[in-house]
């Protein structure tokens, strides 16, 4: 099932129905909270039930990935079928969207194999097996020029069998997209990057704003970790 956060990353409020609630774990019939995955943290925010507001401190998939669990700051008793209101911690999520989209741009600028990535609200990292050295300041200038030039980001859904025909679509060597849903979410940064991705992105790369590259660290003979941070 396609979830609201996969269809519109800018939606910050919605109503949902309780499917299950056990202590601090809450499962809903649909959600706009992004569950931790693909290197992007789970969303935080609030739910309101019967006039009472509760904090959501994390969101993740259940162990068997059959449902999305909202982790509440305190144990709550909610009845299945009950309607509640969801409100996203938008400031934090929007920073994740800016940072996450920025990693797609690094994938465009560096064509070498991607070996890992992690998104944070202030700083993120992408790891590559570099075949040629990368200069920190040069890369930072290229990245900021690219962001300033702007490009739209769109999402499309393809049958997941496309990966059998075009395995090269997956840029991250260590992480294959989850299979079994029958369809694959593809993210296109117009003219720059096209790969399967379940994360949340800004609409136009200009929205990322200025970034800096605090460091490039060596993690192995060829493997380099590029740290990238939002300036504001
Ligand atoms: Zn993405």
CA of 187 to the centre of ligand 1 (A): 6
The residues near 220 (Cβ < 8 Å, ≥ 6 apart) are: none
Cα–Cα dist 92/160, whole Å: 31
pLDDT block averages, 10 residues each, the chain of length 232:
93 98 97 94 97 97 94 97 98 98 96 93 95 95 98 95 86 70 92 94 98 95 95 95
What number is the ipTM of this complex?
Answer: 0.99
75 alpha carbon to ligand 1 midpoint, in Å? 33
194 CA distance to ligand 1 centroid (A)?
Answer: 9
Distance in Å, CA 169 to ligand 1 centroid: 13
Q: Write down the domain spans for the chain.
A: 4-88, 93-230
Task: Quote the pLDDT of residue 73.
Answer: 98
Quick one: pLDDT at residue 166? 86
The topology (CATH level 3) of 93-230 is 3.30.980
- The CA 77 to ligand 1 mean position distance, Å, reads 35
- Asked: is 4-88 a CATH 2.40.30.130 domain? The reply is yes
Neighbours of 223 (CB within 10 A): 16
Q: Ligand 1 centroid vs 161 CA: distance in angstroms? A: 20
């Amino acid at each position: 099932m396609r979830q609201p956060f996969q269809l519109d990353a800018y939606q910050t409020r919605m109503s949902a129905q309780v499917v299950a609630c056990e202590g601090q774990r809450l499962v809903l019939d649909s959600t706009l909270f992004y569950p931790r995955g693909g290197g992007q943290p789970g969303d935080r925010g609030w739910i309101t039930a019967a006039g009472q507001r509760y904090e959501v401190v994390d969101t993740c998939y259940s162990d068997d990935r059959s449902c999305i669990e909202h982790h509440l700051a305190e144990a709550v008793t909610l009845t299945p079928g009950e309607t509640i209101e969801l409100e996203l911690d938008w400031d934090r999520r929007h920073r994740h969207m800016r940072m996450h989209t920025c990693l797609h741009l690094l994938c465009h600028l560096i064509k070498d194999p991607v070996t890992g990535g992690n998104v944070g609200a202030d700083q993120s990292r992408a790891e590559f097996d570099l075949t040629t050295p990368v200069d920190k300041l040069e890369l930072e200038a290229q990245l900021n020029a690219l962001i300033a030039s702007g490009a739209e980001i769109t999402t499309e859904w393809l049958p997941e069998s496309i990966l059998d025909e075009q395995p090269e679509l997956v840029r991250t060597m260590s992480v294959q997209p989850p299979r079994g849903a029958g369809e694959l979410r593809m993210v296109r940064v117009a003219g720059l990057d096209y790969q399967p991705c379940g994360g949340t992105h800004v609409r136009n790369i200009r929205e990322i704003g200025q970034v800096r590259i605090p460091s490039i660290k060596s993690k192995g003979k060829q493997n380099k970790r590029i740290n990238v941070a939002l300036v504001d």
